[in-house]
């Protein structure tokens, strides 16, 4: 089998890198990891060796290059169809795809004001104008998915799917910034944080030495 290689940024800061990394780990795919620290001369020197966009993450699979987190996840779902990337039910699968795309293209105010920072505890920070609107929409998504499709497990659609990988960095942000949620969402957040792959990512982030000042308060 052709080796998979995932090029990522810092585990402490790179929310986009977390998404495919978490899914690949959680679903048991073996892959090589190349980590290039963001906002460093090393990143500028090396990233275009792997990524045509100059951004992480990027997946290398033989001669195939795949960039953008959601595109990577969709590619893997096609290449490894026996793994549980999406719910089997057609309606649930459609919703899972919709909320994954929404996550990919929305919530810019939240992203800008609450950058992912796994090591930090910044309760109450980042609540700029418009952030609560993004938070409210995410909470509604989580509530509806858990209520309508959550039987059989503690993820959004019961078992872990691409949708959970897409929202995992938001869970991390909510933990870092002490965002208040209801019990349904709190249980979901705790389930995400308890995933072995998520714990592995957070532990690795804690020993990284790089500091990106724009993501610190």
What is the chain's Cα-based Rg?
17
**What are the counts of helices (DSSP H) followed by strands (DSSP E) for the chain?**
9, 4
Per-residue pLDDT at 1 exceeds 80: no
The answer to whether the CB of 95 falls within 8 A of the CB of 88 is: no
Element of type H or E holding 133:
helix 131-149
> Would you state the pLDDT for residue 217?
84
| Per-residue buried b or exposed e for 110-141, using 16+ beta carbons within 10 Å of the residue's own CB | bbebbbbbbebeeeeebeeeebeebbeebbeb
Q: Which domains does the chain have, with CATH numbers?
A: 4-83 (3.40.30.10), 90-201 (1.20.1050.10)
What are 120-137's pLDDT values in tens digits? 999 999 999 999 999 999
Tokens of 116: 């992912």
Q: How confident is the model at residue 178 (pLDDT cuts 50, 70, 90)?
A: very high
> Would you state the pLDDT for residue 2?
84
First vs last C-alpha separation in the chain = 45
The answer to whether the CB of 23 falls within 8 A of the CB of 85 is: yes
Q: Which three-class secondary structure state does DSSP give residue 179?
A: coil
> Would you state the pLDDT for residue 186?
98
The answer to whether the CB of 52 falls within 8 A of the CB of 67 is: yes
CB atoms within 10 A of CB 109: 17
Tokens of 196: 């072995």
Per-residue pLDDT at 206 exceeds 90: yes
Q: Which three-class secondary structure state does DSSP give residue 126?
A: coil
Q: Any idea what DSSP says for residue 67?
A: E
The mean pLDDT value for 69-84 works out to 98
pTM, 2 dp: 0.97
Query: What CA dihedral angle connects 215, 168, 15 and 121, to 10 degrees?
Result: 20
Tokens of 66: 């795949």
């Amino acid at each position: 089998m052709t080796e998979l290689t995932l090029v990522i940024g810092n585990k402490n800061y790179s929310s986009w890198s977390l998404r495919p990394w978490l899914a690949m780990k959680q679903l048991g795919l073996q892959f090589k990891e190349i980590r290039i620290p963001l906002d460093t001369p090393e990143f500028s020197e090396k990233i275009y060796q792997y990524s045509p966009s100059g951004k992480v993450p990027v997946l290398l699979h033989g001669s195939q290059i795949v960039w953008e987190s959601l595109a990577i996840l969709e590619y893997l779902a096609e290449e490894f169809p026996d793994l549980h990337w999406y719910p089997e039910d057609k309606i649930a699968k459609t919703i899972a795809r919709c909320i994954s795309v929404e996550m990919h293209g929305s919530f810019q105010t939240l992203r800008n004001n609450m950058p992912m920072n796994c090591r930090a505890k910044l309760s109450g920070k980042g609540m700029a104008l418009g952030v609560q609107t993004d938070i409210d929409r995410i909470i509604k998504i989580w509530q509806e998915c858990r209520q309508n499709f959550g039987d059989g497990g503690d993820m959004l659609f019961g078992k872990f799917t691409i949708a959970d990988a897409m929202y995992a960095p938001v869970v991390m942000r909510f933990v870092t910034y002490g965002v208040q949620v209801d019990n349904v969402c709190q249980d979901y957040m705790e389930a995400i944080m308890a995933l072995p792959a998520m714990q592995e990512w957070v532990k690795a982030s804690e020993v990284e030495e790089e500091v990106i000042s724009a993501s610190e308060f």
